[in-house]
Amino acid sequence: MIRIASASGYWGDWSQAPGLQIRSGPIDYLVLDYLAEVTLSIMSRQRAKDPNTGYATDFLTDVGTLLPEIVEKKIKVIANAGGVNPRSCAKAFLNIAREKGLSGIRVAVVEGDDVLSLLNGRPDDPAIASLTADEKPYPEVQDRLTAAHAYLGCAPVVEALQADADIVITGRVSDPGLFLAPIVHHFEIAGDDWDSHAFGTVVGHILECGGQASGGNFLGGWETVPDLDRLGFPIAEVHDKSHATITKHESLGGLVNEAVVKEQLVYEIGDPKMYATPDCYADFTTIQLSDEGDNRVGVAGVKGNGRPEKLKVAGYYEDGWMVSGQISYPWPDAEKKAQAAGELLKKRTINLTGDVFEEWRIETVGYNACHGNLSTSQSPDEVTLRVAARSQDREACEVLGREFSPLVLTGPPGATGFAGGRPRPSRVHAYWAGLIPRDWVNPRVEVLEL
């Protein structure tokens, strides 16, 4: 059996989780998922300003400080904290080890997901124009792309583990692939054993969102979850290549039962019979869950079928400017006043700039910003008006930013909570999702040793 502990579901997740996972009981692998589409966008902008940045700095502060304990307990660490710059992240991590007087640490760097130069280098390739995407055809964004990263599977992480790496730092490896890798490595799963890959992918999908699989964000009974102040992140005890137990450290808070696990299983899966990852298609309708005791849920029975011929690409391109701001309105008629103020702000701005905005968003937070017309709320005591707009014209966005403050004395009564200065325009880095032929992408693994 191997114990795989989740310690991060995104960049900015709970900083105490890695330490609690390491110190509260035995684990073999500590796995941290930092990346999402918006995260890569932020990191690519950071790297554009400073070529030595572009990775999850939380990995250094939250995990780097635990290195002596990690080494002592012989825990393997896997993280896609490298973002758009895994090599710089690895070097910074090794510097921490050096400062702590450690030696003999092997840090593997997984690269090859950055495909921007590859795409730019094939301008005449007929396949370029036919790259599929969710919304925009590739030629529409080709000349504006600032970053493009393919989703790698578990194979390069497995290669790093086979090279006896202690720490594996990757770029855009798929979320479940991070957790699948130690299962494939430990149980020596064959590349075409699709059922085992699907099983490991399901285990990874359960763990990839951190505390969400151990009682955090639990819609089915959040008030029943004990000791959220010491939430124990989920752990998979993997018994073989088809059976695992989802659990947590006994001394920590949280809740692991079938309801909690099921909520995570249906999170962002698309077609449940064909859950697609770079490693396989997993049939979620074949998953068998079982109650194995307090805070113990068994996972088995998973079937898989082949793998996609193409890899997903997360691309980013500059698409104008946006500005947003907010201001609050109290009872009586809080929502009515906020909506009127939002429309007033829009009219005043357009009177000055012309209709140069491509998108407006006028929301009343506290009434219907999240659920829109599905809201059944009665008249609220107060709401916060949030207005955001996007345009290719930076000056028009500046005008909108200046129009917020005058609402206090020239709009509906009771405006309050406006602070922090005028909203300022910021660049829009739009997201483009596409599919790229698998054989265009060549992952690379290099082990750096201290």
Residue 173 and residue 262 share a domain: yes
C-alpha span between 238 and 242 (Å, rounded) = 8
Closest CA to 308 of 443, 197, 445: 197
C-alpha span between 374 and 176 (Å, rounded) = 33
C-alpha span between 128 and 114 (Å, rounded) = 16
Residue 159 and residue 205 share a domain: yes
The values of phi and psi at residue 350, to 5°, are -65, -35
Supply the DSSP symbol for 34: -
Residue 405 and residue 276 share a domain: no
Supply the DSSP symbol for 355: S
Closest CA to 248 of 263, 265, 262, 230: 230
Question: Which of 249, 280, 308 is the last residue in one of the domains?
Answer: 308
* pLDDT tens-place values along the chain, 450 residues long: 999 999 999 999 999 999 999 999 999 999 999 999 899 999 999 999 999 999 999 999 999 999 999 999 999 999 999 999 999 999 999 999 999 999 999 999 999 999 999 998 877 777 776 676 666 788 888 889 999 999 999 999 999 999 999 999 999 999 999 999 999 999 999 999 999 999 999 999 999 999 999 999 999 999 999 999 999 999 999 999 999 999 999 999 999 999 999 999 999 999 999 999 999 999 999 999 999 999 999 999 999 999 999 999 999 999 999 999 999 999 999 999 999 999 999 999 999 999 999 999 999 999 888 888 776 667 889 999 999 999 999 999 999 999 999 999 999 999 998 878 899 999 999 999 889 899 999 999 999 998
Residue 346 and residue 291 share a domain: no
Residue 352 and residue 219 share a domain: no
In a domain, residue 221? The reply is yes
Residue 282 and residue 158 share a domain: yes
In a domain, residue 442? The reply is no
Other residues' Cβ atoms within 10 Å of the Cβ of residue 104: 9
Tell me the β-bridge partners of 271: none
Structure-block tokens of residue 3: 């114990």
The DSSP annotation for 235-290 comes to EEEEEETTEEEEE--TTSB---SHHHHHHHHTTT-SSTTSEE-SS-EEEGGG-EEE
Closest CA to 280 of 309, 254, 259, 251: 309
Question: Which of 261, 282, 308 is the last residue in one of the domains?
Answer: 308
Residue 413 and residue 390 share a domain: yes
Region class of 164: left (phi > 0), else alpha (psi between -120 and 50), else beta: left
In a domain, residue 445? The reply is no
Looking at the structure of the chain, the number of domains it has is 2
CA distances from 151 to 80, 421, 442 (A): 11, 40, 11
The values of phi and psi at residue 72, to 5°, are -60, -40
Residue 254 and residue 304 share a domain: yes
Residue 213 and residue 88 share a domain: yes
Q: Which domain holds residue 334?
A: 315-432
Residue 182 and residue 323 share a domain: no
Q: Answer yes or no: are the C-beta atoms of 335 and 343 closer than 8 Å.
A: no
Amino acid 129: pLDDT: 65
C-alpha span between 165 and 97 (Å, rounded) = 15
The values of phi and psi at residue 337, to 5°, are -65, -40
Cα-Cα-Cα-Cα torsion 381, 216, 151, 269, nearest 10 degrees, comes to -80
Amino acid 133: pLDDT: 63
What SS3 state is found at 75? coil
pLDDT tens, position by position, 67-103? 999 999 999 999 999 999 999 999 999 999 999 999 9
In a domain, residue 340? The reply is yes
In a domain, residue 165? The reply is yes
Give the distance, in angstroms, between the CA of residue 231 and the centroid of all CA atoms in the same chain: 20
In a domain, residue 146? The reply is no
Q: Which amino acid is at 289?
A: L
Q: Answer yes or no: are the C-beta atoms of 81 and 169 closer than 8 Å.
A: yes
pLDDT tens, position by position, 249-283? 999 999 999 999 999 999 999 999 999 999 999 99
Residue 278 and residue 328 share a domain: no
Residue 405 and residue 291 share a domain: no
In a domain, residue 438? The reply is no
Decide: pTM greater than 0.85. yes
